[in-house]
Amino acid sequence: MEVSVEGPPTARDRVKTAVNQRSDGLWLVEYTPLGAGPHHVSVYFSGHPVNNSPFTTHVKPRRYLSSILCK
């Protein structure tokens, strides 16, 4: 399993990913977006793209949790 993530045009660095196979046979992919905007996630298995890859995720601007008060 290989995964690559391309961030929005304003992001110059490649998005780092962590790919791990779980004990139930599913795969867990984690990444930290470089900024708000579309991110294109390409997934390959045995060197071939999986169906419908690349996928597009839409990252919203960050909210600062320090300004939220929970009671």
Q: Which two tokens stand for residue 36?
A: 């708000």
Q: Check residue 50 and give its pLDDT.
A: 93
Q: Check residue 12 and give its pLDDT.
A: 67
Q: Tokens 């790919």 sit at which residue?
A: 19
- DSSP 8-state class, residue 28: E
Q: Check residue 6 and give its pLDDT.
A: 87
Give, in words, the CATH class of 2-67. mainly beta
Task: Indicate the SS3 state at residue 20.
Answer: strand
Task: Indicate the SS3 state at residue 4.
Answer: strand
- DSSP 8-state class, residue 60: P
